[in-house]
Chains A and B, each alone.
Chain A
Amino acid sequence: MKPVIETRELCRFYGAGDTLVKALDDVNIRIDPGEFTAIVGPSGSGKSTLLQQIGGLDIPNHGKVLLKDKPISEMSGKELSDFRRDHIGFIFQAYNLIPVLSAAENCEYIMLLQGIPAAERRERVLSMLAQVGLEGREDRLPGQLSGGQQQRVAVARAMVSQPDIILADEPTANLDSQTGMELLDMMHDLNRNEGMTFVFSTHDPKIMERASRLIYVEDGKVIREETRNG
């Protein structure tokens, strides 16, 4: 099976000389389609940096990130934008919705960038928001939604454009544990039902239990991988 994402000798350093920090050091991982993978490790271990590299949000000092065998580190700014728009869905810890757009408009935005016709956009947005349990709240602005609801919008926004992979950086960190678990269950259901590939970072043991595969990161290195029966 061809991996969705693969990293080869991936390195990301900050600073120089005595202050050199190896945020990622020779990381080699592969994510296959349909996986529900958690990148785990303590704070500062390099989880978020790895997700940023996989998502093309940052440029590595060394090594490669391959999306379906295509090296994304060699892309131009515009190509990278298009790549993220068409292949990656992001879910951020702080939700990061556009505050002046409603829940529906936040989801619609990426499809607008993709050039999808208005009628189809509307249909997909309504269906997606219903899937994440936000039926009837489509026209609310992010500020009018709870943290959990905002993160559900973020999930819907990430999924509605039908990307190859969804990257979630500590998606439950800002939520209470019950809301966090509910959100994770919802993501898990979407993974099982829609076959969507999820990669998320966490250091919460309860959340790790839901993952079908665990990649342990420490001091910028992958120290262990574990596959479970999701």
Chain B
Amino acid sequence: MLMLKLAFRNILRNKRRTILTMLSMFGGYVLLTLSISVQNGSYVQVIDFFTRDSTGHAQISEVGYQDKPTLYKSVPETTDFYQQLMQVDGVQRATPRIVSSALAYGETKSFPVQVIGVDVEKEARMSFLEEKVKTGQYLEVGPDSDGYYSALIGAAVARQLSLEMGDELILISQGADGSMANDLYRVVGVVGSTEGAEARNVYLPLAAAQSFFVMPEQAHYWAVLTSDYERSDQLSQRLNSWLDGDSELEAVTWKVVSKEFYETMKADVEGGYVAYYIIIFLVCIGVLNTVLMSVLERTGEFGVLKAIGTSPGRVFTLIVTETLMLAVLSCLAGLIVAMPINYYLAAVGFVLPEPMEVSGVIMSHMKGLWDVKTFMEPALIVIGSAALISLFPARRAAKIVPVDAMRSL
């Protein structure tokens, strides 16, 4: 207790210097907290949106499909399969999809498109497809009175083929049985923007896609959602346990399904570390300067402490303790300031001056992240860096020879 008292009183000796050092660590903590909050917040936002809208948290497909997607590798699309799938622990939603390419024709032009067959109702519950309809309406399950199945087209398809609501869309491709696939559909809506990930897509009701690609009661994969993308590994494991009896099917997480997206996000996070390093470096310089000055000024005093029996280890601990106290107090002050700011960032966020596309996801605003890690991580970084930085001056003070040190008194 006396040692703590001594350390605490020592940091109060030069109040101006203590305040400046604390400001440096306080600023570092607040900046780190907000940077990490916005960085991780946007990371979570993008991944959450991307996985819910596109890949799901995990996918069930035929073995090898993820490495080389092909029309011929399929999974069952039956009520029985769906019901069993929904019984797997952690599964909240699931939807089947058929994905293949085709050539689309308007009245005068053709355009290569990606056809995605979706279960109209399950897809609406799972992804944001329905919300992304900019013009027209969402898909109908069955054909209209004229026998046409509905089609949603991406904005680039609409522009290239000059298609409008109610126009006929002709698709030509190949069926899974090797036959030539061609059919007519009625355009009921346009989704997204010309820059969006779905710009070149054509969405069909699953029954229409199954018929077009000759895949009765089949799909290319089931996209599955659990409560949170961070549980996707767990979900994938459970799905694989469930599929254990079927050697032809496998479950993989979104990280495998969209490896490129995952790698981009990882690189983005790593890029953010550069900013953290700069902040940490500035904090370290401030702390090192203070601790060195403090040790230098008190050289004689350390000589006396050692002369009266303080071991080198205790002198070392005293200096590290003083620095740690400063760091902890700075982080506490930083926490008081960072909490309301971060709460606002997490709850309200801020609008980006220009919408930004991250791997096909358009972001118009960013939000912070409100969790323990966002506040703890910067504290550990600041306190850890301060402790690390204090080791050198502490070692120097611990090693001084009393008689030499006391000459400076």
Report if A57-B402 is in contact (Cβ < 8 Å); known contacts: A84-B309, A98-B301. Answer: yes
Bound state CA distance, A85 and B312, in angstroms? 12
Verify if B112 is at the interface (C-beta below 8 Å from A): no
Report if A109-B308 is in contact (Cβ < 8 Å); known contacts: A98-B6, A101-B6. Answer: yes
Map CB proximity to A onto B169-182 as digits: 1 under 8 Å, 0 otherwise: 00000000000000
User: A82–B10 contact, CB under 8 A?
Assistant: no
Write out the residue numbers on chain A whose beta carbons fall within 8 Å of the beta carbon of B258: none
User: B304–A96 contact, CB under 8 A?
Assistant: yes
Bound state CA distance, A77 and B397, in angstroms? 13
User: B313–A57 contact, CB under 8 A?
Assistant: no
Secondary structure call for the A interface = helix
Bound state CA distance, A113 and B314, in angstroms? 9
Closest A-chain residue to B405, C-beta based?
A57
Write out the residue numbers on chain B whose beta carbons fall within 8 Å of the beta carbon of A177: none
User: A100–B9 contact, CB under 8 A?
Assistant: yes
Within 8 A of A (CB), among B351-409: 399, 401-403, 406, 409
Write out the residue numbers on chain B whose beta carbons fall within 8 Å of the beta carbon of A157: 308
Map CB proximity to A onto B278-311 as digits: 1 under 8 Å, 0 otherwise: 0000000000000000000000110011111111
**Within the complex, what minimum Cβ distance (angstroms) separates B297 from chain A?**
12
Bound state CA distance, A118 and B5, in angstroms? 14
Verify if B20 is at the interface (C-beta below 8 Å from A): no
Verify if A78 is at the interface (C-beta below 8 Å from B): yes
Report if A98-B304 is in contact (Cβ < 8 Å); known contacts: A105-B5, A108-B2, A113-B314. Answer: yes
Bound state CA distance, A27 and B84, in angstroms? 96
Report if A85-B402 is in contact (Cβ < 8 Å); known contacts: A96-B409, A100-B6, A100-B10. Answer: no
> Which one of B2, B311, B409 contacts A82 once the chains associate, using CB atoms below 8 Å?
B311
**Within the complex, what minimum Cβ distance (angstroms) separates A13 from chain B?**
14
> Which one of B5, B308, B409 contacts A110 once the chains associate, using CB atoms below 8 Å?
B308
Write out the residue numbers on chain B whose beta carbons fall within 8 Å of the beta carbon of A112: 2-3
Report if A78-B2 is in contact (Cβ < 8 Å); known contacts: A55-B307, A57-B307, A98-B301. Answer: no
Verify if B13 is at the interface (C-beta below 8 Å from A): yes
User: B310–A100 contact, CB under 8 A?
Assistant: no
Give chain A's interface residue range (CB within 8 Å of chain B). Answer: 20 to 34
Map CB proximity to A onto B309-336 as digits: 1 under 8 Å, 0 otherwise: 1111110000000000000000000000
Write out the residue numbers on chain A whose beta carbons fall within 8 Å of the beta carbon of B6: 98, 100-101, 109
Verify if A94 is at the interface (C-beta below 8 Å from B): yes
Within 8 A of B (CB), among A131-155: none
Write out the residue numbers on chain B whose beta carbons fall within 8 Å of the beta carbon of A198: none
Verify if A200 is at the interface (C-beta below 8 Å from B): no
Verify if A58 is at the interface (C-beta below 8 Å from B): yes
**Within the complex, what minimum Cβ distance (angstroms) separates A94 from chain B?**
6
Map CB proximity to A onto B1-31 as digits: 1 under 8 Å, 0 otherwise: 1110110011011000000000000000000
Write out the residue numbers on chain B whose beta carbons fall within 8 Å of the beta carbon of A113: 309-311, 314
Report if A78-B409 is in contact (Cβ < 8 Å); known contacts: A58-B401, A92-B304. Answer: no
> Which one of A59, A86, A100, A101 contacts B309 once the chains associate, using CB atoms below 8 Å?
A86
User: B2–A110 contact, CB under 8 A?
Assistant: no
Within 8 A of B (CB), among A77-92: 77-78, 81-82, 84-86, 88, 90, 92
**Within the complex, what minimum Cβ distance (angstroms) separates B278 from chain A?**
35
Verify if A52 is at the interface (C-beta below 8 Å from B): yes
User: A90–B3 contact, CB under 8 A?
Assistant: no
> Max chain A CB contacts within 10 Å: which of B300, B308, B313?
B308
Write out the residue numbers on chain A whose beta carbons fall within 8 Å of the beta carbon of B312: 77-78, 81
Bound state CA distance, A57 and B400, in angstroms? 11
Bound state CA distance, A136 and B249, in angstroms? 86
18 contacts between A and B (CB under 8 A): A57-B401, A57-B402, A57-B406, A58-B403, A77-B312, A81-B311, A82-B311, A84-B308, A84-B309, A85-B310, A86-B309, A90-B308, A96-B301, A96-B409, A109-B2, A110-B309, A113-B309, A161-B309
6 tightest CB-CB pairs across the interface, nearest first?
A85-B309, A100-B9, A81-B311, A58-B403, A57-B403, A96-B304
